[in-house]
Amino acid sequence: MQLDTRGSNGDYPRGWSIRGSDDGEHWSEPLLTGQGDGPLTRMVFATPATARYLRIEQTGRQSGLWWSIHELSVFVP
């Protein structure tokens, strides 16, 4: 997966986690966590994960900046 915030360069997630769900109500423990360091944030699963829904949560922040997502790309092998 890749989050693109190039339209708002400083607004990338300083920390993030991804959870999965099969019903949109009950969410897994984090499947993947990480930190962003620029306007393109790549999220790569080391092992396959399956879910009908994905939730990307911001877990870090920088004072005075927001979290923007201009484009989300999901790549499936």
Give the position of tokens 């393109």: 40
What's the confidence (pLDDT) of residue 67?
84
In this predicted model, what pLDDT tens digit does every residue of 33-74 receive, in sequence order? 999 889 999 999 888 888 999 999 999 888 888 888 899 998
What's the confidence (pLDDT) of residue 24?
96
Between CA 72 and CA 27 the distance in angstroms is 20
What's the confidence (pLDDT) of residue 2?
93
What's the confidence (pLDDT) of residue 61?
84
What's the confidence (pLDDT) of residue 47?
85
Between CA 72 and CA 4 the distance in angstroms is 6
Between CA 11 and CA 26 the distance in angstroms is 29
- Which range marks the domain in which residue 52 is found? 2-73
Provide the domain count of the chain.
1
What's the confidence (pLDDT) of residue 18?
95
